[in-house]
Amino acid sequence: MGIKSFQGARKQQGTSVPVALKVRDYMTTSLITFRPEQSVQEVVESLIKYKISGGPVVNDRNELVGIISEGDCLKQLSESRYYNMPLEHDNVEKRMAKEVETIDGNMDVFDAANKFLNSKLRRFPIVENGKLVGQISQKDILKAALQLKGVNWNSSTKKSS
């Protein structure tokens, strides 16, 4: 008669299916947006009120047309002071960045983190079917990281192709 193990059934090692973390699961969908015709002064007031550093600029059809940031507003403030022009005479369309880099909502958060590291941007809008659907920030990526407490950050967390 053979020796019996009294340890009981053992848990299978390495059979867990890795969870794919997508940008869409962590992006912000309740966005403070701006319109091209708004004054820069209104933007500054919103940035201060909502404690944000910038936001997407959309048209009447909710299509992304630009991004405006604190830096864009500071440039306007500096120039208005230099040329003695009041703030309310400048609008968002003149100051916003029109070339906006977006990312796909289906992108893995690890790839998004890498994209943040390789750029100086603090936020990326997410556009689907031509419409703004959300935005992911560096802070959103950090929140995703906190939810991974026991998971490795290496490629073993990604689904194998």
CA distance 138 to 20: 18
Which residue pairs, CB below 8 angstroms and at least 24 apart, start in 69-74? 69/97, 72/40, 72/96, 72/97, 73/40, 73/43, 73/44, 73/47
pTM of the model: 0.76
**What is the percent of the chain with per-residue pLDDT over 70, rounded to a whole number?**
75
SS (H, E, C) 90-137: CEHHHHCECCCCCCCCCCEHHHHHHHHHCCCCCEEEEEECCEEEEEEE
Please tell me the predicted confidence (pLDDT) of residue 58: 98
135-159 as b/e, with b when 16 or more CB fall inside 10 Å? bbbeebbeebbeeeeeeeeeeebee
Domains of the chain (ranges, CATH numbers): 23-148 (3.10.580.10)
Stretch 57-62: mean pLDDT: 97
CA end-to-end distance (rounded Å), the chain: 46
For residue range 78-130, list pLDDT tens digits in order: 877 666 666 666 899 999 999 999 999 999 999 999 999 999 898 999 999 99
Closest CA to 55 of 68, 64, 66: 68
Please tell me the predicted confidence (pLDDT) of residue 161: 43
For residue range 37-50, list pLDDT tens digits in order: 999 989 999 999 99
